[in-house]
Amino acid sequence: MNTPTDVQIINGPDGMPAFVVIPYAQYVKDHPAEDLIPNEVVGYMVKEGLTPIAAWHKHRGLSQAEVAARMGISQPAYAQQEQAAKPRKVTRLKIANALGVAEPLLNL
């Protein structure tokens, strides 16, 4: 029995399913805005080679000193964490709170 649905399946050249198209409203409902990464943040990472943390701080329009103050640490200590290849989860959580973003968005 076929149940009516708004989902569309697009087959590839081999006849096998290749893509699924869903209504935009459903996509937005299933992907809250706080889980999405703005194009500007990705641009900073790709074009300027910034870490995710540095890209988010630039996107938010904050200085390193402002983020550090929100965390209760010095600017040099924050700068060191911002450049770390993989900061500890506890550190990422503190930075995420200071930047107002979800922690997984800093772990790209």
What distance in Å separates the CA atoms of residue 92 and residue 96, rounded to the nearest whole number? 6
What pLDDT sits at residue 54?
Answer: 96
pLDDT tens per residue across span 21-76: 988 888 878 876 667 789 999 999 999 999 999 999 999 999 999 999 999 999 99
Q: What is the rounded average pLDDT for all residues in the chain?
A: 90
Rounded to whole angstroms, the Cα distance separating 103 from 105 reads 5
Number of C-beta neighbours around residue 22 at 10 A: 13
| Tokens, residue 5 | 């649905």
Q: What was the pLDDT predicted at 49?
A: 95
Residue type for position 67: V
> 5: pLDDT confidence band, cut at 50, 70 and 90?
confident
Q: Is residue 81 predicted with pLDDT exceeding 90?
A: yes
**Structural domain spans, the chain:** 34-106
Q: What's the pLDDT at 47?
A: 96
Over the Cα atoms of the chain, what is R_g? 19
Report the pLDDT averaged over residues 80-94.
92
Residue 54: closest CA among 86, 18, 82, 87: 82
Measured distance CA(38)–CA(25) in Å, rounded: 18
According to CATH, what is the number of the domain 34-106? Answer: 1.10.260.40
pLDDT recorded at residue 1: 47
